[in-house]
Structure 1
């Protein structure tokens, strides 16, 4: 079962489905008019990419980290109700990530 889907199959519409259909532009509006009125917004925030995100971005799709057999085993275990979650491992990773974020923040100040 996917997250957000109800078991009875009646899923709520997605945001794209909820939006009204796009209105066709008026014939009087030309691409030159649009180019003149549209401009790129000024940057409003600075963004820093973490070292983990940089590693993930640089890894690419062919780095061999995807194990289809493992995914199949986990999928089967979930469908059979045999999948168990190691709460201690999850807690350890959350604490480690929080410590990394806090130390990175402390180094900035």
Structure 2
């Protein structure tokens, strides 16, 4: 069962899914039926990319032009289809621990 799905189907949509009520047109001095020029909405928040995110993006294993090894992707897809693809959970766990340690070390050096 997915989170948020109710068997009865009577769950109200989340706030992000609800549509705001229609706004009344503002008096702009335009003629009947003419629409005023649309203006961009004011930004609701600002986004800043951290130095760690910039470092991670620059250390990406893909090539500079954003391409990837299509042949490798096809080999992996074929292995998955044939049921021959194996996952080395130990290697994944080791890499996660290593990345977490690097992140903690970089934060400790900043303070």
Give your verdict on TM over 0.5.
yes
Given the two structures, how large is their TM-score scaled by the length of structure 1? 0.55
Q: TM-score with structure 2 length normalisation?
A: 0.55
The correspondence for 2:37, drawn from 31, 41, 56, is: 31
Extract unaligned runs of 5+ from structure 2.
1-16, 26-32
Question: Secondary structure at the residue paired with 1:71?
Answer: helix
The CA deviation string for residues 49-104 of structure 1, in whole angstroms up to 9 with x for no partner, is 42121233982325xxx221111111111011111001121111101110111011
Q: Which has the larger radius of gyration?
A: 2
**Count, aligned residues:** 85
Query: Hey, what's the Cα distance between the residues in 2 that align with 1:94 and 1:87?
Result: 10
Please provide the CA RMSD for this pair: 3.7
SS in 2 for 1:31: coil
**Which structure dedicates a bigger proportion of its chain to helix?**
1
After superposing on structure 2, the runs of 4+ consecutive aligned residues of structure 1 that deviate more than 4 Å are: 23-29
C-alpha spacing 1:105/1:29, structure 2 compared with 1 (3 Å): farther
